[in-house]
Chains A and B, each alone.
Chain A
């Protein structure tokens, strides 16, 4: 029977550190990616279109909020399971993984962690099944790395809040049914609230002409005097800590996800190098090609070990935001470097859509910037080890 030619890399037998369930989960998502993502994703990217129907399939298989308890429609899985799912999805495409990251970590996670029981019961089952799609609004046109300076506000009107402002670079924006939005209240305290599509004054225009994450919806969330019922505000969180806790969960998933993109590039380059002959021998037999491939497998192995250890810590609720920053920064950069080196091994073929490498490379240019830029994560590590904040003057 036909199968994918993809050969996953496990140079240090890290599989031995996974449970049987982790491996079953991985094989399920891998099969789904081979069946539903790989055959359509290249064309979707070329046409700058997100295959929206994939969200329904992802929901049915339980890829949204896998760590959310079963009571709310999740699968009650551990954090390593979530990581394994993200790796396999991003082997398909960073855009598809982004949709799952946002839904799981930036929408379901805050509703579960900060929401009221009514909010959980109202939204989580629909989000888990993929029947409801969520977006997350933190970044603003003039406030990216410095979200604390946001200008989006809620005004207490007695029986409701009045929301005004705009959010930018929002995954799933124009297809979302609900958005988790962060805004300052009358006392300048950051609060989280759930805004529903259809509320008057809420629009979500799409951002076009991207060269990255082309098979993913990105856009704005615009709030012009939107009346939000008081029961839509998160009761259990105040301040920047709320959105940052969401980002921790998403960044953790990205640290795993990037490995998938890297493994797809490495696997493609390794196979190509063994098949492509120049000067009467495979290019894999040349030292400079071997240097590239050997460094790639080394870096992938290091990233796998980092992600696995972070997963263990996260399962034990001991992973610090700084550790997550280090893993996200290292692993995304690793994936981007491997995409670039793999592209070189494929020569001119590497720029075509016949291979996934250039698509991964362009996607990763977003991934290295979103959810905390490469530089900001470095400064988080710097702050953690020196005690000095270097984010601002």
Chain B
């Protein structure tokens, strides 16, 4: 699970464009991971006890704990925080693989990407490090009589696959309708649920962030009357200088 800035955050950069300015940023659960969590909780409820627990795992520093607590408030049974900054996808996948490889899980659900850097890499890398299959772009995930089936969005239609456990499910929209809202009581109970902090494993990051740039500001839109072709052509020629 990734912690990402709220989607309405005004993005600013500090240090001459070398760092993301986190002042005043509201942090949320990555929306795709929130959908994954929602489906995981539904599967557990549908399983009549066959699914023992849902664990949330996140790579991040202590500041991410409120977001992890929210996942517990929504209904996860326990959480693991790997105590290091998430440097890049390779590094994060290494950390998660290192942490869970001996945990006896059945399915790792992860969002198709995180809404901040949109890398779409962690799920595939994680499966590779764990030596298990992964299925990407899952829009439905069901378990019936112990058989796991998933729907994948493909060009012009959908593909239905039967999957052996364990595997990494890379989740996109459709898998659950909307994320759950934690109840006030759930928020109180989350205080008592375990949030285990683990030390990071040795791993390199393969990328280095050199600089950030803002998108150029959108130019003001000029409206031209529909029958005034001459003005349009003049503007394109003399002002926009594209013809």
Query: CB < 8 Å: which of B10, B65, B187, B220 contacts A28?
Result: B187
Q: Does A27 contact B (CB under 8 A)?
A: yes
B contact residues around A15 at 8 Å (CB): 24, 26
Q: Give 1 or 0 for each of A14-29: 1 = CB within 8 Å of chain B CB.
A: 0100001101110110
Residues of B in contact (CB 8 Å), total 30
Whether B181 and A20, one on each chain, are in contact in the complex, defined by CB atoms closer than 8 angstroms, is no
A contact residues around B24 at 8 Å (CB): 10, 13, 15
Query: CB < 8 Å: which of B7, B23, B188 contacts A76?
Result: B188
Whether B188 and A77, one on each chain, are in contact in the complex, defined by CB atoms closer than 8 angstroms, is yes
Whether B69 and A62, one on each chain, are in contact in the complex, defined by CB atoms closer than 8 angstroms, is no
Q: Does A379 contact B (CB under 8 A)?
A: no
B32's nearest neighbour on chain A, judged by CB, is A1
Whether A1 and B188, one on each chain, are in contact in the complex, defined by CB atoms closer than 8 angstroms, is no
> How far apart are the CA atoms of A7 and B69 in the complex, in Å?
23
Whether A25 and B183, one on each chain, are in contact in the complex, defined by CB atoms closer than 8 angstroms, is no
Question: How far is the CB of A96 from the nearest CB of chain B, in Å?
Answer: 15
Whether A61 and B8, one on each chain, are in contact in the complex, defined by CB atoms closer than 8 angstroms, is no
Q: Does B124 contact A (CB under 8 A)?
A: no
Q: Does A70 contact B (CB under 8 A)?
A: yes
> How far apart are the CA atoms of A63 and B185 in the complex, in Å?
10
> How far apart are the CA atoms of A81 and B185 in the complex, in Å?
12
A36's nearest neighbour on chain B, judged by CB, is B181
Whether A27 and B28, one on each chain, are in contact in the complex, defined by CB atoms closer than 8 angstroms, is yes
Query: CB < 8 Å: which of A6, A31, A70 contacts B8?
Result: A6
Q: Does A287 contact B (CB under 8 A)?
A: no
Q: Give 1 or 0 for each of A78-91: 1 = CB within 8 Å of chain B CB.
A: 00010001000000
Whether B8 and A7, one on each chain, are in contact in the complex, defined by CB atoms closer than 8 angstroms, is yes
Q: How large is the interface on A (under 10, 10 to 19, 20 to 34, 35 or more residues)?
A: 20 to 34
Whether A70 and B185, one on each chain, are in contact in the complex, defined by CB atoms closer than 8 angstroms, is yes
A61's nearest neighbour on chain B, judged by CB, is B183
> How far apart are the CA atoms of A276 and B77 in the complex, in Å?
48
Whether A75 and B8, one on each chain, are in contact in the complex, defined by CB atoms closer than 8 angstroms, is no
> How far apart are the CA atoms of A204 and B190 in the complex, in Å?
41
Question: How far is the CB of B37 from the nearest CB of chain A, in Å?
Answer: 14
Whether B8 and A20, one on each chain, are in contact in the complex, defined by CB atoms closer than 8 angstroms, is no
Question: How far is the CB of B13 from the nearest CB of chain A, in Å?
Answer: 19
Q: Give 1 or 0 for each of B161-205: 1 = CB within 8 Å of chain A CB.
A: 000000000000100001101111111101100000000000000
Q: Give 1 or 0 for each of A306-340: 1 = CB within 8 Å of chain B CB.
A: 00000000000000000000000000000000000
Using known A-B contacts A3-B7, A4-B8, A6-B8, determine if residue A35 contacts B183 with beta carbons closer than 8 Å. Answer: no
Using known A-B contacts A10-B24, A13-B24, A25-B187, determine if residue A61 contacts B65 with beta carbons closer than 8 Å. Answer: no
B23's nearest neighbour on chain A, judged by CB, is A13
Whether A24 and B178, one on each chain, are in contact in the complex, defined by CB atoms closer than 8 angstroms, is no
Q: Does A32 contact B (CB under 8 A)?
A: yes
A contact residues around B220 at 8 Å (CB): 277
Q: Which residues of A contact B (CB under 8 A)?
A: 1, 3-8, 10, 13, 15, 20-21, 23-25, 27-28, 31-32, 35, 60-63, 66, 70, 75-77, 81, 85, 277
Give 13 pairs: A residue, B residue, CB < 8 Å, sorted on A.
Answer: A4-B8, A7-B10, A23-B26, A24-B66, A24-B190, A27-B26, A28-B183, A31-B181, A70-B185, A70-B188, A81-B184, A85-B184, A277-B220
